[in-house]
């Protein structure tokens, strides 16, 4: 039987509009193709796990509303266990306002809503009960909850994969408990105190090593269309991305993490898992939406 992957994180309804180019501050522009589709970094990772035939279980929080129901339905359709998703009356389901420009690049604003109600105790309990082999984390639920989940999973011997998105400073204790850290460039810069700086490709190995020095066992630095850079105790190497015509980059990183976990759960080694995840992420970029792609 395949190893179970537990995903602790956010579920958001994404409200998406397409534009020619992203607006500047204070500018009003006209867009087209408005739609709403299931998203949220946690749920997107879970959806990728399910669509790629992984055994996945989602732990999160939704509001008692129609968006929450749609998000549950999307995960169930992907084959994900959802009995760890709690509905609360305290907040509406999380939502994200997403603008996608012609080049496929996006801007995202998240209103956390019910995601902020996910508590440390319930994730500890869920992990203790499910005993997953892999835990997928991101940062759209309270940091105390992420820290509790990482600690519990580590104590049980699970592999902990953290996508440090959206960017925020993290404690040394959390980073030292992570097996695989998967930041993008801006998240990497923030973790290293280099905010506002652009990383050139020839600086990537140094940046990846500096991230490794923060405590995780392995770093997979996401470089968008350039691919990823892997660094751990034994190696430092580039894995180029598949070349595709981008339509919408939303959730490519989420899909990467879900696919990485599935490949590792199937017993593939890190290099094979990264190649597989690169292919899955490239496919999502060729289609609109988060879970839809």
User: How far apart are alpha carbons 238 and 235 in whole angstroms?
Assistant: 10
- What's the closest the beta carbon of residue 259 comes to ligand RIB, in angstroms? 14
Give the binding range for ligand RIB (CB under 6 A) out of 70-78, 218-226, 246-254, 275-283. 246-254
Q: Segment 13-52, which members bind ligand RIB (CB under 6 A)?
A: 14, 39-41, 44
In this structure, are strands 218-222 and 228-232 parallel, antiparallel, or unpaired? antiparallel
Of the candidates 169, 142, 133, the one whose C-alpha atom is nearest the C-alpha of residue 55 is 133
User: Which residues are CB-contacts of 71 (< 8 A; sequence separation ≥ 6)?
Assistant: 11, 12, 13, 38, 40, 43, 62, 93
Q: Counting contacts by CB under 6 A, is residue 164 touching ligand RIB?
A: no
User: Which one, of 6, 8, 290, lies nearest residue 141 by Cα?
Assistant: 8
Binding pattern to ligand RIB, positions 93-112, x when CB under 6 A? ---x-----------x-x--
- Which listed range, 7-15, 124-132, 193-201, 261-269, lies at the site for ligand RIB (CB under 6 A)? 7-15
Beta-carbon contacts of 91 under 8 Å, excluding residues fewer than 6 positions away, are 61, 63, 113, 114, 116, 117
Nearest residue to ligand RIB, by Cβ distance, number only: 39
Catalytic residue among 163, 179, 248, 254: 254
Query: Residue 78 and residue 4: Cα distance in Å, rounded?
Result: 15
Q: Which two tokens stand for residue 22?
A: 């992203």
Whose Cβ is closer to ligand RIB: residue 5's or residue 251's?
251
- Would residue 254 show up in a list of annotated catalytic residues for this protein? yes
Site membership for ligand RIB, residue 257 (CB under 6 A): no
Catalytic residue numbers, as ranges: 254
Q: Which chain residues interact with ligand RIB by CB under 6 A? A: 10, 12, 14, 39-41, 44, 96, 108, 110, 140, 250-251, 254, 290
């Amino acid at each position: 039987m395949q190893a179970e992957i537990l995903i602790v994180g956010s579920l958001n309804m994404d409200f998406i509009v397409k534009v020619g180019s992203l607006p500047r501050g204070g500018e009003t522009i006209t867009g087209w193709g408005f739609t709403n589709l299931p998203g949220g970094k946690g749920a997107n990772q879970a959806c990728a796990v399910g669509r790629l035939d992984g055994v996945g279980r989602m732990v999160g929080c939704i509001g008692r509303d129609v968006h929450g129901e749609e998000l549950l339905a999307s995960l169930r359709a992907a084959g994900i266990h959802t009995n760890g998703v709690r509905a609360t009356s305290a907040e509406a389901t999380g939502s994200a306002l997403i603008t996608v420009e012609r080049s496929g690049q996006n801007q995202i604003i998240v209103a956390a809503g019910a995601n902020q109600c996910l508590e440390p105790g319930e994730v500890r309990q869920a992990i203790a009960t499910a005993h997953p082999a892999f835990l997928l984390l991101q940062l759209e639920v309270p940091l105390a909850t992420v820290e509790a989940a990482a600690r519990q999973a580590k104590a049980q011997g699970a592999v902990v994969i953290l996508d440090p998105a959206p960017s925020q400073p993290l404690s040394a204790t959390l980073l030292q408990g992570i097996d695989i850290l998967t930041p993008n460039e801006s998240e990497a810069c923030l973790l290293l105190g280099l905010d506002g700086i652009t990383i050139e490709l020839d600086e990537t190995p140094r940046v990846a090593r500096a991230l490794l020095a923060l405590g995780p066992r392995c770093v997979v630095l996401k470089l968008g269309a350039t691919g990823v850079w892997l660094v751990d105790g034994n190696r430092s190497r580039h894995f180029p991305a598949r070349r595709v015509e981008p339509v919408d980059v939303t959730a490519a990183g989420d899909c990467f993490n879900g696919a990485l976990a599935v490949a590792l759960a199937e017993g593939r080694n890190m290099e094979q898992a990264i190649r597989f995840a690169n292919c899955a992420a490239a496919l999502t970029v060729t289609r609109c939406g988060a879970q839809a792609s």
